[in-house]
Structure 1
Amino acid sequence: MSHAGGPGDDKDRHVDDPDHAGPDIFRFRQGDSETAMKRRVVVVGAGLAGLASAVALERHGVEVVVLEARGRLGGRVHTWRENGHHADLGAERVDGDHRRVHALAARSAVPLVPVDEEAAALDDVLMFDGVTHRAAEIHEGPIGAELDRVTSHVSALAAQLPRLDDPTTHPEARSLDARSVGDLLDELAPSADARSIVEQRVRSEGAVEPHQLSLLAWVHQVAMAEAKPADQIESHRLRGGADVLAEALSSRLSAPVRLATTVLAVDLHAAGVRATTEQGGVEADAVVLAVPPTVVGQLRFEGQVPAVIEQLSKLPMGDITKRLLAFDTPVWRASGWSGHALIEPSSFVTWEAPAPEVLIVYAGGSAARRLATMPLAELVAALPPAWRTGPPPREVHTAHWGSVAETGGAWNAPTPGQVLPTWHVLRRPHGRLHLAGEHTAARFSGFMEGALESAERVVSELAG
């Protein structure tokens, strides 16, 4: 839950100049009209998708009520702050082609700043069974050749995708969706060390185990990544933390978000909709469900319930954990290391927070729960030796998204056989029901950009 940049002067323009910041869903498009919009809309969920939908709908003259079960805004966009330091517990980095995030940040006067260039000039670590290696050494050796073989195979599959916004158009879509990433690794049979690195990547970026992830979903993700220059991937952060975007959106609403308001049931009937909460009910002409699939499965639906609800409630969410460790100083830099490490066989990844003395330890898939429950001393012992040359770190926060009831995971991770039957139904309206959230984005699923992309589509649906 969770990029940016661009070459030369263009990078600086699209980050800082509103006139070059990309699409703005908060402005009318030609053909839009207030009279075409539903009169009142209830939005369930105050993450970026729900908030962006609400702000844009109000711009179109719609009365909007936003309901949020948590006592805070942002959903999976959440920032830890202490003594002037901060670190993102969920979505964090922004890619260069995340134009909606760039536009929203520019118009909200929230600077996008490059990731630490000093750290980028230092070496990354790959650690196998306690032995530290420079990442470049591994990639230049026999393991690197095995990785290249796997990567080339997946890249060749990704290159066949004719439309980045629709993986179902892949000529081998049915075959790919029927298999898992683990199935592909079994077929290619890379060396144990190379397979370990690939599996770690799947856990980190897919948030599930390789055998749990549809190969079609993975090929789509690779195609998206390879469609942009490498220096535009995860190149920026939002100054002050990612959840400043949620605060900026909320400040534009005419009425405050109703926090700590859990929706229990949604009644879809011919005359309208009703969202029932512990505090009462909200009547509206349409409802936008801007919550993760796991949350949809917890709601009670009544009346004219579309079939998509059952499909949506069965979509799995991946799992990630971030643990924040505070050091006196970034001791790894003294040894020439960047703070970025891949640690095997634990499948942990580390990198520096905006304050470099705060280290983020990250894991996805089955490793997420291990990281969340591991004693601090054991975790520190698992770090590379250069990370342990000074006083032991202090743990400041743990975020295990799989254990958060209001979320139930990190982001959507389709299992084999799930992409084809759900892709189009998740991305269109169903009567008075509209679906938002990164899991309904066509191009940027799993990203803040995807949340905003889905909001743009929802507003277009309601304007039609």
Structure 2
Amino acid sequence: MEVGVAWRPSSQLQGAPHAARPVRPGVSSGDDAAATHLLPPSSATRAPRRDARSPRGPSKERGMDRPSAEGRAGAAAGPGASPDRGGDPDRADPRPLVSAPLSRRRLLQQSAGLALAGCPRSGASARRVVVIGAGLAGLSCALELNRKGRGVQLLEASERVGGRVQTQRIGGLVVELGATRILAGHDRVHAYADLFGIERTPVDPDRAGIDLAVVQGQRVAPDGAIPGGLTPGEALAWQQGRLLELYLLPLMAQLGDPLRPGWPPPDLDALDRLSLAAYLASRGASEAAIALLTLGGLSGWVDRLGILQHARHVGLDDLSSPATWLVGGNDALTEALARALTGSLEVGAAVREIRVQRNGIARLSIERRGLLSTLEAGVVVAAVPLAALRRIRLVGLSSQVRRAIDETHYVEITQSNLSFSSRFWIERGLSGRLRTDRPLQEVWPQAGAPRADPRGILTNSTTGQAAIELGAMGEAERGTFLHEQLVMAFGGPVPEPTLLSTRAWHLDALIGGGWPVFGPGQGWIQRRLQQPDGPLWLAGDHASPWPGWMQGALYSGERVAQRILAEA
């Protein structure tokens, strides 16, 4: 894993990588009150619920947030509903996940009322809530619990908050090392941004020109030459931008509601056993069509990705609409959330063991600066990637939950940011968005330069074996490799770039990869992750309908908080 200034053959950048604003370490005891915030549903930014039956439009933007795929609008109107307490987990609770809008004045009034709720009482261990992980899932879970008067002890193993959201500022440029894009239907991200007064701007402010795809050495564009190897029907669908719809439309009618708790239901088990490649082949897709439909980050996963996970992504996310980015960097949101939790957030506190005791109380072993201590809690929320959770000793969990944790694979991903003296792609009538079946995989422009600044930024996201190899390269070798790949992909000279930063997320022991891949036959894992195991709850994008997105992390954190409150 590498973060920071790397290869710079053409010029020396000024500045240093931005460090997250320090969070004052502090541990809340039992039910200590923390700052209270209520997240409004933000109806102005919510996308209306649409029937997820007709995928359309070329996928252009996914980045760390997941690999590209053609898709259509279909994000749900709201954050979904949680199961009724003690009832059927598939039966939706009509109550919204978050309450009605709340003014800042009312927020302060509720904060004052939390003081009494934080007083010590008998059975403090049974009532204590510990959240492990200060990424978006952990932060949103803690905030929602605070709002209802529940004290939370939030533990973060690293020295920063944000998880897979990490922003770097260098030489007047702002770039994302992790999650980059916010789609129109990602209502939870927009609602939090509204709450904290964070503006959004298009990730690609120019958004002009032609998108490129490189397949088996052939450079193609949606409005250009027809790729070779397609059947006549596929060629027509490609020209009309309907290639994905040609093969996924029949499936969409069978999916049901991907936001319903307990999805995918057992009656989809037959489909669940199929990989993306197997499903497309069963529909008669040619090898050339499969290659086009899985360009970019999906190219190495066609046999390992379950068709249901892919279809859900296509049905929920509108990838054809412009994506946005938080002005000044996506870490503006994680820092705002962390500041709201001052007094209950502790960094540098690594949980080494979670032991569920016979009395239903969890005993945690926590390492701080080389010293071990223990803490008991009646509720523990593990809001870390499952790949990182596997590094924690887990005792007393059910065998099914252990299997779910152990058998969920995370995508290896290496993300790099390159700066250029100009936006050369605009001058050539290109958008800068590129997908290939080569190791380069995906490229997109990033809005990290001030509008008056002529410099341009391209972000590269590589997954799988290509990510492993790229992440293992030295700085100079990596910079040269990426430059050569861009020259081949763009089909002409490319100015020499400056490699600003590279982040190999699979090499970070506290993260373990990019996003979870639910393979054929793993629908049961997705269902199981939504349910508690004794005192342990799992939160994160892996336990949401949006694996790999900031939206999924926030949605999951809120949902778990409301489930905990309902069962109190």
Q: Under TM normalisation by the shorter chain, which class is it?
A: 0.7 to 0.9
Report the Cα offset of residue 307 of structure 1.
3.7
Q: Which amino acid aligns with 2:337?
A: L
Shift of 1:384: 3.9
- The CA deviation at 1:223 is 2.1
Going from structure 1 to structure 2, the CA distance change for 1:93 and 1:138 (only over 3 Å counts) comes to farther
Q: Which residue in the other structure is 2:503 paired with?
A: 399
Matches within 5 A, 1:2-81: 13-14=44-45, 39-81=127-169
Change beyond 3 A, Cα 1:289–1:394: same
Aligned partner letter, 1:156? P
Identity %: 30
Distance 1:274 1:239, change over 3 A: same
Contact 1:202 / 1:210 at 8 angstroms: preserved in 2? no
Paired letter, 1:453: Y
Spell out, residue by residue over 1:298-357, the C-alpha distance to the aligned partner (whole angstroms, 9 max, x if none): 211234657413322321112222111111111122111111112333351111111361
**Corresponding residue for residue 168 of structure 1:** 264
2:209 is aligned with 1:122: yes
Match of 2:411 among 318, 328, 335: 318
Are the structure 2 counterparts of residues 145 and 191 from structure 1 closer, same or farther at C-alpha, using a change threshold of 3 Å? farther
- The equivalent residue for 1:18 is none
**Unmatched tracts of structure 1, length 5 or more:** 1-10, 16-20
Q: Letter of the aligned partner of 2:529 in structure 1?
A: L
Match of residue 292 from structure 2: 197
Aligned residue identity for 1:210? V
Alpha-carbon distance in 2 for matches of 1:438, 1:236:
19
- 1:196 shift after superposition: 2.2
Deviation, 1:427, is 0.8
Distance in 1, Cα, partners of 2:78 & 2:147 = 18
Q: Which of 383, 397, 411 is matched with 2:486 structurally? A: 383
Q: Distance in 1 between matches of 2:395 and 2:291?
A: 47
Query: Which residue, out of 276, 299, 304, partners 2:365?
Result: 276
- Matched with 2:547 is 445
Q: Quote the residue 1:104 is aligned against.
A: 192
SS class of match (2:333): helix
Distance 1:12 1:433 in 2: 32
Deviation at 1:47, TM superposition (A): 0.5
Structure 2 residue 317 is matched with structure 1 residue 222: no
In the other structure, the counterpart of 2:34 is none
1:174-209 CA deviation, whole Å, 9 max, x = no partner?
A: 2211111121244356444433222325627xxx61
* CA RMSD in angstroms, aligned pairs only: 3.1
The answer to whether the 8 A contact 1:180-1:415 is kept is yes
In structure 2, distance between residues paired with 1:99 and 1:378:
38
Within 5 Å, which residues of 2 pair with 1:266-305?
A: 266-269=354-357, 270=359, 272-279=361-368, 280-303=373-396
Aligned residue for 2:176? 88
Does the 8 A contact of 2:297 with 2:442 survive in 1?
A: no
Q: How many corresponding residue pairs?
A: 434
The residue type paired with residue 273 of structure 1 is A
Please say which of residues 374-383 and 47-56 is displaced more in the overlay. 374-383
Match of residue 414 from structure 1 = 518
Residue of structure 1 equivalent to 2:526: 423
* Structure richer in helix, relative to its length: 1
1:229-253: CA deviation from partner (whole Å, max 9, x where unpaired): x654x52111122222111111111
1:182 aligned to 2:277?
Answer: yes
Secondary structure of the structure 2 residue equivalent to 1:153: helix
From the superposition, tell whether residues 367 and 154 of structure 1 become closer, same or farther in structure 2 (CA, over 3 Å).
farther
SS of residue matched to 1:61: coil
**1:363–1:144: structure 2 CA closer, same or farther, 3 Å change rule?**
farther
Q: Is residue 247–residue 280 contact of structure 2 (8 Å, CA) maintained in 1?
A: no
CA distance in 2, matches of 1:316, 1:369: 15
Deviation at 1:61, TM superposition (A): 1.7
Please give the TM-score of this superposition, normalised by the length of structure 2: 0.70
**Cα distance change, pair 326–154 in 1 and its aligned pair in 2 (3 A):** same
Q: Contact 2:276–2:306 at 8 Å: present in 1 too? A: yes
Match of 1:350 among 443, 449, 464: 443
Cα distance between partner residues in 2 of 1:28 and 1:60: 13
Q: Deviations over 1:85-128 (max 9, x none)?
A: 1122211111122111111000111112123342x221112234
Q: Secondary structure at the match of 1:67?
A: strand
Q: Look at both structures and tell me which one has the larger radius of gyration over its CA atoms.
A: 2
Residues 40, 284 of structure 1: 8 Å contact kept: yes
The normalised TM-score by structure 1 is: 0.84
- Counterpart CA distance in 1 for 2:485 and 2:296 is 19
- The alpha carbon displacement at 1:59 in A equals 1.8
Distance change in 2, residues 1:189/1:26 (3 Å): closer
What is the SS of the residue equivalent to 2:364? strand
Q: Give the conservation status (yes or no) of the 8 Å contact 1:343–1:383.
A: no
Alpha-carbon distance in structure 2 between the residues aligned to 1:202 and 1:215:
15
SS state of the match for residue 395, structure 2?
strand
Shift of 1:286: 1.0
